Amino acid sequence: MLKNKKIVLGITGGIAAYKCAELVRRLKEQGCEIKVVMTESAKHFITPLTMQAVSGEIVSDSLLDPSAEAAMGHIEFAKWADLILVAPATSNIIAKMAAGIADDLLTTLLLATPAKVAIAPAMNQQMYAHPATQANLSTLAQRGVDIWGPGKGEQACGDIGAGRMLEPSELVTLCTAPAEPQLLAGKTITITAGPTREPLDPVRFISNHSSGKMGYALAQAAVELGAKVNLISGPVNIAAPRDVSVINIETAEQLLQHSLAHAVNSDAFIGCAAVADYRAANIADQKMKKQGDELTLTLVKNPDVIAAVANLDHKRPYTVGFAAETQNVASYAKGKLSNKNLDMICANDVSKSGLGFNSDHNALTLYWHDQQKELVIDTKYALALNVMKELAQRL
């Protein structure tokens, strides 16, 4: 509990605004002081009276309020806050923030504040995936804005995909998290994340269900603990963590090339990417046409990226692997730990509903050659912090 932490909650015009009453109530339970700022469109989804009732404070909604602006109210708000959280953060407010537009009270506060700023994206999955939205999110991340979420699942419009605002309990955890001790200051960590794609022809490829969320959470956690982070990422639909150097790849061979190049300059290497085990022996120059009822493909084995790093003869980093299994999790994980010459492996059972691939939650068992540690079900970011703290003890 962080008593008296001062938070400005900026509510914008999305259906997820209805969750903000619960969010404010839970933040106040933690001892936080809350002031609410609403955009005009937000008031179509939840009323200022409701937010006033749960916050115990007058809700601000106008930049041109004479009584407030007589004392330069927007500047006072900006200076008062320890954190400004925009939730829900629609594609519109994200675009305004990226462009530096200040045409209402909330956007003006966001430009005027020295406080930490975080956003909780919430929008239709297609809007979230649009290149303009992703570019805007990347811009904000590079400026130091924390991007919390979004989650993935069924949306109000009936679509299913990434774009749901994180639940109030998850946002409370992020809002009230104290600054992490800089346990990894001066360390360089290289992390791989997401899937690889192995082309079959110009339009088809072999891949898997990895969302990249665990790897990206590890990157964010490492930065929070003071590390310099290289994130080698396959194709994903999430914004890069702030202060992280991202190297985008598609194939396992590209992943191997960049992993070896960065590993020798790293204190630790974490292989969290879901690497395709096989690739096509021959990639068709043109789109393959349907011929007959069966198609036979010849596949060849891909390089073992994590093993290649773990067996470097010169400048070998502390090497951590991941084992996503559906059965015999412990035995498979211990086998990989030994056979690949790893220092540590993080194992999870992806057959369990609601955990692992595409989920915001997970559970891990960490294995070393002489011990193991259980990490119970939690958000991927919380698990990532625990993994990084264990790693810090060994570097």
Q: Which two tokens stand for residue 357?
A: 């691939």
Q: Which two tokens stand for residue 27?
A: 């933040």
| 175 noted as active-site residue | no
Q: By the 8 A CB rule, do 152 and 122 touch? A: no
DSSP 8-state secondary structure symbol assigned to residue 89 = E
DSSP 8-state secondary structure symbol assigned to residue 18 = G
Token pair 């080698």: residue: 232
The angle that helices 131-142 and 91-99 make with each other, rounded to 10 degrees, is 50
Q: Which two tokens stand for residue 50?
A: 């409701």
DSSP 8-state secondary structure symbol assigned to residue 44 = G
Annotated catalytic residue: which of 20, 32, 157, 175?
Answer: 157
Closest C-alpha to 306, from 186, 225, 191: 191
SS3 for 243-274 is: CEEEEECCCHHHHHHHHHHHHCCCCEEEECCE
Q: By the 8 A CB rule, do 198 and 206 touch? A: yes
Residues with a catalytic annotation lie at 157
